[in-house]
């Protein structure tokens, strides 16, 4: 610590004075640093926002839920392999079989009929309005027991209604709001394709992940009895399954479901599964791998900004050293040692980039307020800390060579410098 | 300069008597130079700015160095002030062998033992008079409060107590030089060096500065100044004349 001594404050004061005297030049120099720090702040807040709302959303499906499809779990990039596309579908019977496993509380099939036989969207109309954006799913009344959806008004359809092919449905909150903005949709009639349905219940509004709207909207959905859905799309038995484990039996349930499906789908011993099970946990970890990628991109972008800033700082510090050669000579003549001069210019460079970092934090913070308007987000503490430390560090690294040059100047030659 | 001059330069230090410091009974020797050379290597030829300068200065003396332009006065002053190192020879300042010191040790000597006054003042333009005077104390590691006190006192000694917060461009030439003198004195150095301190000043201001030097000398300071004006040199107690890098004349006038 002897190296730093008491004149560190002195140097800081000096550096701030220099900065004040060269406002515009300093600002232009540190633009790269500002961009770097703003990037860190902004992307950190966006990632945090996506992360929190995604985690919240996924966890609302319950930690005991499994979503089973005939495709492999995880993110799919590009075309599916031929083997994957040719897999045989999961069936209604698979769902019924799974629901009887000892570790499983509920298992239901989902038959998606949003598109008709010809691949066209099935139109939904009611209350004088028509939409092609509503998600249509056929399932069993046991779905209510899975605990991921709550009925806000009316009731869920019954097993009896399913068995009797009755055209009843339960609508999501967005469907209720869109088609029946005034008054309750319960007992109203909705036309799906050419069939008329009676609404028996409205679901509780679900928290949205990021942006709302479109057919992916979790609330823009209509559930109808499985048998009725089969009738609307008679050619398809391609279902996805949802299974909920009994409390505390998630791991065993996963094993049992996997074993059962392997047997039922005749997977040879030693071959990989020809289906995929997603859990809340696996979804979150998949998601984290995506946000991790974004974070790496962020580090790259911001380090480019910081590097550009660093080179600018080095340049301006070299100019500053040349401009102040005489001053350096005077300081040496009255007793400044090499390390005193070295510290003076190092601290000046660090103050410069630190100032850039500070501006970056301020601008970045304002921008995160804007992000907050779009999605729930926060700025994790590490982002401003890392941004600021990185900018000061850049000043130190890129200021070293100019400061070293200054420190090594010969007193006589510097005093004679014009 | 010719090759011959290079050959006559002393190569063995055995010739030089080890100076006895401080010499008992005799006057207290502050500066002792033995056969000092300063050679600038200009590639094709070597320029000998000083060739074999030897002299002593006792504590409390008031010495003027004169000589024509290019004779080596500034070169000698820079060596005395430890701003530069001799190519050859021995230099003892206040009992320390300066000719063998490294960069940091020389900086320490410049800070503690020497007060330097320049022809062009060499004040920091952006700093106040007070701050300029504080600078040597900062490098001397003296804490803030004490530093302020000492700097204020030094400025008061050069009659600038009322100009402490002025920047150099708000001061007259004479006042600037007095700030520079205060800066040179603030660390209570053992010697005050001034290279043409009146060179940038008009006659009456020059006399003010010379009066100040006289006062400082009477207060016990050892002073060496370079000048090529006879009336300025005549106010010192001893005059050394230099020509072509050699001492031509060394006379005591008071
Ligand atoms: N850095 C240098 N490189 C080469 N030669 C130098 C250098 N500094 C001084 N000299 C030479 O050394 C000699 C003495 O120079 P110095 O500056 O000591 O003269 P001076 O007596 O102070 O002159 P003046 O009265 O004009 O200031 C000159 O011939 C000069 O050209
Ligand atoms: Mg000179």
pLDDT tens by residue, B85-105: 999 999 999 999 998 899 999
- Which element (helix H / strand E) includes B54? strand B46-58
Q: Please report which confidence band the pLDDT of residue A210 belongs to, taking 50, 70 and 90 as the band edges.
A: low
Taking alpha carbons only, the member of A102, A73, A68 closest to residue A261 is A68
Lowest mean pLDDT among A42-51, A56-65, A250-259: A56-65
Determine whether the interchain pair B139/A340 forms a contact, defined as Cβ–Cβ distance below 8 Å.
yes
Secondary structure of residue B217 in the 3-state scheme: helix
CA distance A357 to A368: 16
Pick the CATH number of B6-252 from 3.40.50.150, 3.40.605.10, 3.40.50.300, 1.10.3210.10: 3.40.50.300
Query: Is A333 in the same domain as A404?
Result: yes
In a domain, A95, yes or no: yes
CA distance B176 to B155: 11
Secondary structure, 3-state, chain A: CCCCCCHHHHHHHHHHHHHHHCHHHHHHHCHHHHHHHHHHHHHHHHHHHHHHHHHHHHHCCCCCEEEEECCCCCCCCCCCCHHHHCCCCECHHHHHHHHCCCCEEEEEEEEECCECCCCCECCEEECCEEECCCEEEEECHHHHHHCCCCEEEECCCCHHHHHCCCCEEEECHHHHHHHCCCCCCCCCEEEECCEEEEEEEEECCCCCCCCCCCCCCCCCEEEEEHHHHHHHCCCCCCEEEEEEECCCCHHHHHHHHHHHHHHHCCCCCCCCCCCEEEEHHHHHHHHHHHHHHHHHHHHHHHHHHHHHHHHHHHHHHHHHHHHCHHHHHHHHHCCCCHHHHHHHHHHHHHHHHHHHHHHHHHHHHHHHHHHHHHCCCCCCCHHHHHHHHHHHHHHHHHHHHHHHHHHCCCHHHHHHCC
Query: Is A52 in the same domain as A81?
Result: no
Determine whether the interchain pair B111/A7 forms a contact, defined as Cβ–Cβ distance below 8 Å.
no
In a domain, A309, yes or no: yes
CA distance A141 to B26: 118
Q: What ipTM, to 2 d.p.?
A: 0.88
Q: Which atom of ligand 1 is nearest to the CA of B68?
A: 25
* Length of chain A measured in residues: 418
Quote the distance between the C-alpha of residue B153 and its chain's center.
22
> Of A235, A255, A279, which closes a domain?
A279
CA distance A317 to A403: 8
| Count of Cβ atoms closer than 10 Å to residue A264 Cβ | 15
pLDDT value for A213: 41
For range A250-256, the mean pLDDT: 92
> Of A223, A256, A279, which closes a domain?
A279
Determine whether the interchain pair A335/B139 forms a contact, defined as Cβ–Cβ distance below 8 Å.
yes
| Exposed e or buried b per residue across B136-165, where buried means at least 16 C-beta atoms within 10 angstroms of its C-beta | bbbbbebeeeebbebbbebbebbebeebbe
**Residues A107, A93 contacting (CB under 8 angstroms):** no
Per residue in B137-165, pLDDT (tens digit) is 999 989 889 999 999 999 999 999 999 99
Q: Look-up: residue for tokens 């461009």?
A: B169
**Residues A134, A179 contacting (CB under 8 angstroms):** no
**Mean model confidence pLDDT for chain B:** 88
Q: Which atom of ligand 1 is nearest to the CA of A412?
A: 1
**Residues B229, B68 contacting (CB under 8 angstroms):** no
Q: Look-up: residue for tokens 């009659």?
A: B159
Taking alpha carbons only, the member of A343, A352, A353, A349 closest to residue A318 is A349
Instruction: Among B44, B68, B74, name the best residue to mutate to test ligand 1's pocket (greatest count of ligand atoms within 8 A of Cβ).
Output: B74
For range A177-189, the mean pLDDT: 89
Question: A304: which 2 tokens?
Answer: 């480019």
Residues near B28 by beta carbon (within 8 Å), at least 6 away in sequence: B22, B58, B59, B60
Query: Is A140 in the same domain as A218?
Result: yes
Residues near A231 by beta carbon (within 8 Å), at least 6 away in sequence: A165
CA distance B179 to B184: 9
For range A89-96, the mean pLDDT: 92
**Residues B36, B247 contacting (CB under 8 angstroms):** no
In a domain, A70, yes or no: no
CA distance A393 to A305: 14
| Whether the CB of B71 sits within 6 Å of ligand 1 | yes
Q: Which atom of ligand 1 is nearest to the CA of B242?
A: 21
A373 Cα to chain B: minimum distance (Å): 47
User: A194 phi and psi, to 5 degrees?
Assistant: -105, 0
Q: Apex CA B38: angle with CA B35 and CA B39, to 5°?
A: 130
In a domain, A105, yes or no: yes
pLDDT for residue B17 is more than 60: no
Q: Look-up: residue for tokens 């094709």?
A: B44
Which residues of chain A make contact with B121, given a CB cutoff of 8 A? none
Residue B73 alpha carbon to ligand 1 centre in Å? 8
Which residues of chain A make contact with B81, given a CB cutoff of 8 A? 333
pLDDT value for A286: 80
A406 Cα to chain B: minimum distance (Å): 14
**Residues A283, A69 contacting (CB under 8 angstroms):** no
| Count of Cβ atoms closer than 10 Å to residue A221 Cβ | 22
Determine whether the interchain pair B139/A21 forms a contact, defined as Cβ–Cβ distance below 8 Å.
no
For range A313-334, the mean pLDDT: 94
CA distance A9 to B242: 45
In a domain, A67, yes or no: no
Query: Is A143 in the same domain as A36?
Result: no
Q: Which atom of ligand 1 is nearest to the CA of B196?
A: 27
Query: Is A94 in the same domain as A238?
Result: yes
Q: Please report which confidence band the pLDDT of residue B4 belongs to, taking 50, 70 and 90 as the band edges.
A: very low
**Residues A411, B77 contacting (CB under 8 angstroms):** no
Taking alpha carbons only, the member of A301, A291, A313, A254 closest to residue A377 is A291
pLDDT value for B74: 95
pLDDT value for A131: 86
**Residues A102, A255 contacting (CB under 8 angstroms):** no
| Exposed e or buried b per residue across A390-402, where buried means at least 16 C-beta atoms within 10 angstroms of its C-beta | bbbbbbbbbbbeb
In a domain, A64, yes or no: no
Beta bridge partners of B91: B33
**Mean model confidence pLDDT for chain A:** 87
Per residue in B167-202, pLDDT (tens digit) is 999 999 999 999 999 999 999 999 999 999 999 999
Considering only the beta carbons, identify the residue of B83, B107, B112 that sits closest to A337: B107
Among A3-7, A380-384, B121-125, top mean pLDDT goes to: B121-125
pLDDT value for B58: 95
pLDDT value for B158: 93
In a domain, A182, yes or no: yes
Per residue in B53-77, pLDDT (tens digit) is 999 999 999 999 999 999 999 999 9
**Residues A350, A16 contacting (CB under 8 angstroms):** no
CA distance B139 to B144: 12
| Whether the CB of B119 sits within 6 Å of ligand 1 | no
pLDDT for residue A215 is more than 60: no
Taking alpha carbons only, the member of A96, A129, A90, A79 closest to residue A112 is A90
Secondary structure of residue B192 in the 3-state scheme: strand
pLDDT for residue A3 is more than 60: no
pLDDT value for A117: 65
Residues near B126 by beta carbon (within 8 Å), at least 6 away in sequence: A17, A21, B167
Which residues of chain A make contact with B118, given a CB cutoff of 8 A? 333, 415
pLDDT value for B13: 40
> By CA distance, what is A13's nearest residue in B?
B127
For range A318-340, the mean pLDDT: 94
Query: Is A228 in the same domain as A346?
Result: no
Q: Please report which confidence band the pLDDT of residue A279 belongs to, taking 50, 70 and 90 as the band edges.
A: confident
Query: Is A206 in the same domain as A340?
Result: no
CA distance A128 to B79: 102
pLDDT value for A402: 97
| B217 to B59, B65, B191, B193, B221: CA distances (angstroms) | 11, 16, 10, 12, 5
Q: Tell me how many domains chain A contains.
A: 2
**Residues A399, A407 contacting (CB under 8 angstroms):** no
Query: Is A43 in the same domain as A154?
Result: no
Domain ranges of chain B: 6-252
pLDDT for residue A216 is more than 60: no
Query: Is A84 in the same domain as A184?
Result: yes
Q: Kindly tell me the sign of the dihedral angle through the C-alpha atoms of A311, A316, A319, A321.
A: negative
pTM metric for this prediction: 0.74
Query: Is A340 in the same domain as A272?
Result: no
Taking alpha carbons only, the member of B79, B48, B73 closest to residue B241 is B73
Determine whether the interchain pair A411/B83 forms a contact, defined as Cβ–Cβ distance below 8 Å.
yes
Domain that holds residue A409: 2-56+287-416
Q: Please report which confidence band the pLDDT of residue B210 belongs to, taking 50, 70 and 90 as the band edges.
A: very high
Instruction: Among B47, B224, B241, B247, name the best residue to mutate to test ligand 1's pocket (greatest count of ligand atoms within 8 A of Cβ).
Output: B47
CA distance B54 to B240: 11
Report how far apart the first and last C-alpha atoms of chain B are (Å, whole number): 36
| A356 to A18, A313, B190: CA distances (angstroms) | 14, 10, 46
| Whether the CB of B68 sits within 6 Å of ligand 1 | no
> Of A249, A279, A309, which closes a domain?
A279
């Amino acid at each position: 610590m002897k190296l730093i001594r008491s004149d560190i404050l002195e140097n800081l004061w000096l550096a701030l004075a220099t900065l004040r005297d060269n406002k515009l030049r300093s600002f232009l120099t540190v633009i790269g640093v500002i961009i770097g720090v703003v990037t860190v702040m902004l992307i950190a807040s966006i990632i945090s926002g996506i992360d929190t709302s995604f985690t919240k959303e996924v966890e609302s499906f319950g930690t005991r839920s499994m979503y089973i499809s005939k495709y492999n779990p995880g993110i799919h990039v590009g075309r599916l392999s031929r083997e994957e596309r040719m897999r045989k579908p999961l069936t209604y019977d698979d769902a019924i079989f799974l629901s009887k496993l000892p570790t499983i509380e509920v298992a239901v099939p989902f038959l998606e009929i949003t598109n008709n036989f010809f691949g066209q969207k099935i139109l939904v109309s009611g209350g004088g309005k028509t939409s092609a954006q509503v998600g249509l799913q056929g399932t069993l009344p046991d779905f209510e027991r899975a605990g991921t959806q709550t009925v806000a008004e009316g009731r869920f359809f019954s097993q009896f209604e399913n068995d009797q092919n009755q055209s009843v449905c339960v609508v999501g909150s967005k469907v209720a709001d869109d088609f029946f903005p005034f008054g309750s949709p319960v007992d109203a009639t909705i036309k799906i394709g050419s069939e008329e349905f009676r609404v028996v219940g409205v679901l509780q509004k679900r928290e949205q992940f990021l942006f709302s709207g479109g057919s992916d909207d979790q609330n823009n959905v209509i559930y109808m009895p499985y048998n009725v859905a089969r009738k609307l799309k008679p050619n398809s038995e391609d279902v996805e399954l949802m299974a909920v484990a009994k409390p505390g039996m998630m791991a065993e349930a996963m094993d049992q479901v996997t074993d059962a499906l392997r047997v039922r789908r005749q997977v040879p011993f030693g071959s990989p599964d020809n289906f995929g099970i997603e859990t809340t946990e696996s979804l979150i970890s998949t998601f984290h791998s995506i946000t991790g990628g974004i974070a790496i991109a962020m580090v790259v972008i911001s380090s480019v900004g910081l590097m550009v800033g660093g080179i600018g700082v080095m340049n301006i510090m070299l100019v500053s050293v040349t401009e102040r050669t005489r001053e350096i000579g005077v300081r040496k003549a009255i007793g400044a040692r090499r390390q005193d001069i070295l510290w003076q210019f190092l601290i000046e460079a660090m103050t410069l980039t630190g100032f850039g970092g500070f501006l970056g934090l301020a601008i970045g913070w304002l921008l995160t307020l804007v992000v907050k308007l779009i999605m729930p987000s926060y700025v994790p503490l590490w982002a401003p800390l890392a941004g600021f430390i990185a900018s000061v560090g850049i000043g130190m690294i890129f200021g070293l060579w100019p400061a070293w040059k200054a420190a090594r100047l010969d007193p006589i030659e510097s005093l004679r410098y014009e | 300069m010719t090759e011959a001059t290079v050959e006559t330069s002393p190569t063995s230090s055995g010739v030089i008597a080890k100076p006895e410091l401080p010499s008992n009974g005799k006057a207290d020797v502050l500066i002792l130079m033995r056969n000092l050379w300063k050679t600038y290597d200009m590639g094709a030829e070597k320029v000998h700015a000083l060739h074999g300068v030897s002299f002593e200065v006792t504590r409390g003396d008031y010495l003027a160095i004169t000589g024509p332009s290019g004779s080596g006065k500034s070169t000698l002053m820079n060596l005395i002030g430890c701003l530069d190192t001799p190519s050859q020879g021995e230099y003892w300042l206040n009992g320390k062998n300066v000719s063998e010191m490294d960069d940091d040790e020389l900086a320490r000597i410049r800070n503690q033992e020497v007060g330097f006054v320049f022809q062009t003042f060499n004040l920091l333009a952006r700093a106040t008079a007070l701050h300029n005077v504080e600078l040597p104390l900062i490098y001397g590691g003296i804490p803030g409060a004490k530093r302020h006190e000492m700097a204020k006192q030094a400025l008061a000694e050069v009659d600038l107590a009322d100009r402490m917060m002025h920047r150099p461009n708000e001061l007259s030439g004479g006042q600037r030089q007095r700030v520079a003198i205060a800066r040179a004195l603030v660390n209570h150095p053992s010697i005050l060096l001034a290279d043409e301190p009146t060179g940038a000043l008009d006659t009456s201001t020059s006399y003010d500065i010379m009066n100040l030097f006289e006062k400082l000398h009477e207060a016990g300071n050892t002073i060496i100044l370079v000048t090529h004006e006879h009336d300025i040199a005549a106010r010192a107690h001893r005059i050394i004349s230099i020509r072509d890098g050699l001492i031509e004349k060394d006379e005591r006038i008071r």
